[in-house]
Amino acid sequence: MQAAHLTSKQANMNRVRMIVALALIYMIFAILLNSVGTVILQSIVSYGIGKPQASLLELFKDLTIATTSFLVASFLPLLGYRRAMMLALAIVGSACTLMPLYPGFHTTELLFTCIGISFALAKVAVYSSIGLLTSDRAEHGRLTNTIEGLFMVGVLAGGWIFSAFIDHADPANPAWLDVYWLLAAICLAIIVLLAASKLDESAAHSERTNSIRGSLTEMLRLFVRPLVYVFLISAFLYVLIEQSFGTWLPTFNNEILKLPNAMSIQLASILAAMTAIGRLGAGQVLRRVPWYVLLNICVVGMGLLVVVVLPLARGVVARPDVGWFSAPIAAYLIPLIGLLMAPIYPVINSVALSSLPKTSHAAMTGLIVIFSALGGTLGSRITAIVFSRFNGIDAFYFSLVPMTLVLVALFFFKRETDRTERTTPVVVGLAAK
């Protein structure tokens, strides 16, 4: 009896360790993934490179995420979820140690390549592990929301962590690279935590998961469904907009609003805070407002915010004594776009997945990751080119084009989901709205 009690207690403690490990993995990748805007700004200052070249960091990150995600869905069960997470942390932790040892833009490109590969491994492994650690849908939802919420905490913390290592008197000082020793140490600590934990992965194995060809075929078969490609266009355009603002806001604050480097990064973290608030609030709003109506309000609101706020950013004069209470009003208003952007991505993901049979969810998730990565790369690249050839204000004005296209894509997406509801029963979720 006592032995059984100890076994149950040990199993519960092991489950807690695994959940803590999943949360920490998502937080460290939130810091690394969303550091791209900060690193672009610091690379321009420290290495003297141009904006189009600096924007390649987004490409190195997102294209490797897309490519690796396409492959990971097929062989990850064979590798094992816990081993995949440990491998991901080992890869990115090793790349972090190279940054201060071999400072240079090529090392930075290698780092973001490793971040992309590692995140693709980690994301699929983390999401697959959630199902193994929970016993029902409600518990699964609570754990997923907790981990996603901690991802946003990581995003918020990342800007402050990086800014703490930047020399305010001399932003070009390579001392900012010392932040990577801290990040490498965190990766090592999580690997140790995973090594001390166990995860029963037997439920994740079947004939299909053991077949690479079967997984790839399932993913490709989704393209024959109009609902899927209309959704992927919507997701692609949304991420294009999100990455345009998320990646280039620190540089916008620095060059257009004439704020110091460290303060530019810190103020950009408001965008992440607004996104977190928007996603938490959207869950309550959707109880009363249909998803299609809400998303149209959000997109139109984003466009109006751009048109109203960007003129306030013109003609800002640099001030040596600028501080939080004397910064241009545009520095606080532009990040409010995160409040409106926030619901779009999770809502269209939920609608698309709940409109498909559960057997297609894994393959669909792979496609979501791939097209999100491609949208992020293109958005950052377009913004960089416009930013370099014209200015940051024109670059952010350009976001009105994909916003308009999102409204068109959402119309067709709603039409396809309505058509799917008429022909097949809706399982659960937002698609019923």
- Give the pLDDT confidence of 186-215 residue by residue, as tens digits: 999 999 999 988 877 666 555 555 555 666
pLDDT at residue 396, as a whole number: 86
Contact 324, 270 (CB under 8 A): no
C-alpha span between 72 and 262 (Å, rounded): 37
Tokens of 356: 């498909």
pLDDT at residue 308, as a whole number: 93
Contact 151, 279 (CB under 8 A): no
pLDDT at residue 417, as a whole number: 84
Contact 406, 299 (CB under 8 A): yes
C-alpha span between 309 and 84 (Å, rounded): 44
pLDDT at residue 118, as a whole number: 94
Please write the tens of the pLDDT for every residue from 369-392.
777 777 777 777 777 787 777 777
Contacts 24+ apart (CB under 8 A), 205-210: 205/77, 209/77, 209/78, 210/77, 210/78
pLDDT at residue 275, as a whole number: 82
Whole-angstrom CA distances from 219 to 206, 213, 215, 228, 359 are: 17, 10, 6, 11, 11
pLDDT at residue 212, as a whole number: 59
For residues 29-47, give the mean pLDDT.
88
State the pLDDT confidence band at 316, using cuts at 50, 70 and 90. Answer: confident
For residues 33-60, give the mean pLDDT.
84
For residues 74-83, give the mean pLDDT.
76
Q: Is 50 left (phi over 0), alpha (psi -120 to 50) or beta?
A: beta
Helix (H, G, I), strand (E, B), or coil: what is residue 366? helix
pLDDT at residue 349, as a whole number: 72
Q: Is 48 left (phi over 0), alpha (psi -120 to 50) or beta?
A: left
Tokens of 224: 């024959």
C-alpha span between 142 and 173 (Å, rounded): 43
Site of tokens 């345009």? 244
State the pLDDT confidence band at 431, using cuts at 50, 70 and 90. Answer: very low
Choose among 406, 109, 379, 400: nearest CA to 248. Answer: 379
Q: Which residues contact 104 (CB under 8 A, 6 or more apart)?
A: 47
Contact 219, 366 (CB under 8 A): yes
Contact 180, 99 (CB under 8 A): yes
Domains and CATH numbers, the chain: 1-210 (1.20.1250.20), 214-433 (1.20.1250.20)
pLDDT at residue 100, as a whole number: 94
For all residues of the chain together, what is the average pLDDT? 81
The model's pTM: 0.70
State the pLDDT confidence band at 304, using cuts at 50, 70 and 90. Answer: very high
State the pLDDT confidence band at 38, using cuts at 50, 70 and 90. Answer: confident
